[in-house]
């Protein structure tokens, strides 16, 4: 602060302007550092979750491609979860000061845990290959597993809001498709 006061030369307006400029510079550097650290933490957490649960994107895509029943089950689950998530997003009540009600947030947390448990059981019932059951033995299988896990880590690190918005866009496109004609010729 002493050097800023010297630069101002007794001019209060110039001193204030120098302090503001210094504050803005420090805040920009701090914001960049926090953002980089948050990205690193997100990648680490994503890696732990993906590797721990063996969420291999290549294996999942292959499974969905080759098994129409699993694919249909996953579409049903996605539609149901999208509807519930949309209802949840709209359901957070605000206090007069704009903050969310703590009891509502606790209830939503409990609901999220229940939804997670339901999603895990739904994935298991659809026959999706999750969890470590067997390990690849050949070099191509190992490479495929590593690439599949890396793709999953990057996808998870993008976060739920990103994927919620993408899923919502896909479901809107799917719902706005061509409607079939009925026997009378009128559109449904």
Domain borders along the chain are 2-39, 54-175
How far, in Å, CA of 145 to CA of 59, rounded? 8
> Which residues lie across from 187 on neighbouring strands?
181
pTM strictly above 0.95: no
Cβ contacts of residue 61 below 8 Å, gap of 6+?
Answer: none
**Are the beta carbons of 56 and 145 closer than 8 angstroms?**
yes
* Band of residue 183 on the pLDDT scale cut at 50, 70, 90: low
Question: What is residue 147's predicted lDDT score, i.e. its pLDDT?
Answer: 93
How far, in Å, CA of 128 to CA of 131, rounded? 9
Per-residue pLDDT tens digits for 28-51:
999 888 888 888 888 898 899 888
In the predicted model, is pLDDT for residue 95 greater than 50? no
Per-residue pLDDT tens digits for 139-182:
998 999 999 999 989 988 888 788 888 878 887 776 665 555 55
């Amino acid at each position: 602060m002493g050097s800023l006061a010297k630069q101002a030369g007794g001019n209060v307006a110039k001193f204030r302007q120098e302090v503001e400029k210094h504050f803005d510079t420090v805040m920009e550097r701090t914001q960049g550092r926090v953002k980089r650290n948050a990205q690193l933490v997100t990648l680490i957490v994503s890696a732990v979750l993906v590797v721990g649960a063996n969420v291999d994107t290549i294996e999942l895509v292959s499974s969905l491609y080759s098994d129409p029943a699993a694919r249909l089950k996953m579409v049903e689950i996605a539609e149901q979860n999208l509807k519930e998530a949309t209802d949840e997003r709209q359901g957070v009540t605000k206090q007069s000061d704009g903050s969310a009600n703590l009891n509502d947030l606790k209830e939503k947390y409990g609901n999220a845990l229940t939804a997670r448990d339901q999603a895990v059981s739904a994935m298991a019932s659809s026959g999706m290959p999750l969890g470590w059951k067997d390990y690849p033995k050949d070099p191509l299988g190992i490479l495929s597993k590593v690439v599949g896990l890396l793709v999953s880590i990057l996808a998870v690190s993008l976060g739920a809001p990103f994927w919620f918005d993408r899923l919502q866009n896909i479901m809107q496109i799917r719902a706005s498709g061509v409607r079939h004609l009925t026997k009378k010729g009128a559109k449904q």
